[in-house]
Structure 1
């Protein structure tokens, strides 16, 4: 089908499962890897130079995630990487909406019950707001 898939990634088992599903369940022509730096994480308790240093550290970690994902995907599929800052579900939906994306494949920790209601779920928010279909992967 040669779809353009958006795969949000972080350093978690669900994200790794989503990347695996993207390559095994679909026939992607291109995979767009998206990593979101959360503003709260970057600014909580940090000021001035410390905040800048923390951002640099998180950007380096993101590049390592991208490199690991590229190796997992292999050379058969074209890969684009996007690093954004913001609220993850909002950034994911915006990327899907503005990036000529056919489908989102993302991981979920699968919270349910009270925890899911109180904590909220990035996956749930993406499903509710996405302009394209979404596949949720669990490890």
Structure 2
């Protein structure tokens, strides 16, 4: 992330070499403006929310069927967290990809997930719908 947001950014994948100049639509989909001053910024000059949006755009430029989202909200303030989650759900709906969302934030998991796997000591100890996993008295321990 020490390169500029736009000019030097590339993604390598087995069969694809994608330059962001050719995939600017992805930046527009996530609400990042196509303005020269933004695109010339270094990653360390962006806010946490802007950095996450750039990371999302990079991932979406590969047109994935499954988006792996690992602790995307951990370094964001509450307002940015809500905005990123709304954006992800909208993009998921609009673009039709599945999402594997990894988090320690139980409240966030309750809001975003359709299906939940709870892990303890590296093992899956509970799985099911949000309601099944988090609403029974027996499963209250996963809320803390």
TM-score by length of 2: 0.30
Higher relative contact order (CA 8 A, sep 6+): 1
- Which is higher, the Rg of structure 1 or of structure 2? 2
Q: Which of the two has greater strand per residue?
A: 1
